[in-house]
Amino acid sequence: RKGSVIITGASSGLGLATAKALAETGKWHIIMACRDFLKAERAAKSAGMAKENYTIMHLDLASLDSVRQFVDTFRRSGRPLDVLVCNAAVYLPTAKEPTFTAEGFELSVGTNHLGHFLLSRLLLDDLKQSDYPSKRLIIVGSITGNTNTLAGNVPPKANLGDLRGFAGGLNGLNSSSMIDGGDFDGAKAYKDSKVCNMLTMQEFHRRFHEETGIAFASLYPGCIATTGLFREHIPLFRLLFPPFQKYITKGYVSEDEAGKRLAQVK
């Protein structure tokens, strides 16, 4: 049978490029878990994906209810789950004020980490049941959350502190909207969320790898300076960032190349 893979945020950028690369092998059925159904359908069509290779299912990671509903819908489809790729993310570097998920968590950490955390925890049972020989759960990380890299040392640096904002509910009301309890900073919130993503995979590996045989990993795809991730950035940044990455840091990868990389680790 074909392998069955869920990719979150497959309606653009890396997620779409990965879906396309897997569809082209003819060996995978891709469940595109997306918040905008029409956008996902258009994206799959324009990427040239054949209809029999994908299904679009609604998932809004900024709502834990939506995550639960997605898992129900997926289970009712009767498909097995062999690989889960948590790829979706929001990045709000220019936001002056925090915004919040349906349940009231700061949006970047709420979407990138909490939504994916619940999704991964719920779908662990489905992955366990798969008879596929190399079952995997992959979260897309980022070097911006790693202080042993150049990009990870550009301020504001990721720092989870003593988790006091988390403990207080991350809601900007009776707690800070930042994990470490500090003032809101959108770029830092993104980096913090990516640290959480990477820690989640380490902890899942520690707790569940031996018992389940599932491989848990996080992956940095390279700097795909052209994706929609930077849509909230100032225009000058969007103009200069791709050539800067191409010619100065040499960290640039195209969406296609990054999609192939992620497709390889599936």
Length of the chain, in residues: 266
CB of 40 to ligand NDP, least distance (A): 7
Cβ distance 24 to 44 under 8 Å? no
- Identity of the residue, 2 or 238, whose beta carbon is nearer to ligand NDP in the bound complex: 238
Catalytic annotation, residues: 190
CB of 90 to ligand NDP, least distance (A): 5
Minimum distance, C-beta of residue 187 to ligand NDP, in the bound complex (Å) = 12
CA dist., res. 161 & res. 252, Å (int):
31
The dihedral sign for the CA sequence 182, 173, 203, 66: negative
Shorter beta-carbon distance to ligand NDP: residue 90 or 195: 90
Measure CA of the first residue to CA of the last residue in the chain; give whole Å. Answer: 16
- CA 248 to chain CA centroid, Å, is 27
Rama region for 106: left / alpha / beta (φ>0; ψ in -120 to 50; rest): beta
Instruction: Show the CA angle centred on residue 72, arms to residues 17 and 200, nearest 5°.
Output: 60
Amino acid 28 reads W
Task: Write out the two tokens for 43.
Answer: 């994206």
The least distance separating ligand NDP from the CB of residue 230, rounded to whole angstroms, comes to 7
Q: Is residue 52 helix, strand or coil?
A: helix
Q: What's 266's DSSP letter?
A: -
Which residue of this chain has its Cβ atom nearest to ligand NDP in the complex? Answer: 13
Q: Which residues bind ligand NDP (CB under 6 A)?
A: 8-9, 11-15, 34-36, 39, 59-62, 87-90, 111, 140, 142, 220-221, 223-225, 227-229
- Shortest distance, position 58 Cβ to ligand NDP, whole Å: 9
